Amino acid sequence: MVRHGRPPERTEVREVLACAVCTAPAVRFDLPLNDDVLAWARSHDASALHAHISGGMDAYCPACDRVYCRDHYQTDERYDEGFYDCTYGTCPQGHRRMIDD
């Protein structure tokens, strides 16, 4: 059966942000499509995307305003009495922040 009419509208944008050091894919995500998100994704505005995404982007360093892949953004998981506590991330410039709690 052939359907006529307009194709369904896209409701999400798929985006990949590259590592600032090696250009390997650092962040892959699907975002609900709206004018702001589409503009940020197309311009690779990591700061705006980080602020918009609930919990932020783990691979993003706010101090550098750059995104890093897993080879360049080192993670350090912390445990307390044998149970997971949190994870810290450290960028190549030495900026450290908690990325998961």
Of 46, 76, 77, 75, give the one whose Cα is nearest residue 63.
46
Count CB neighbours of 29 within 10 A. 14
What digits encode the pLDDT tens for the residues 3-12?
Answer: 556 655 555 6
Range with lowest mean pLDDT among 1-5, 14-18, 68-72: 1-5
In the prediction, which pLDDT does 74 show?
95
The answer on pLDDT for 64 being more than 90 is yes
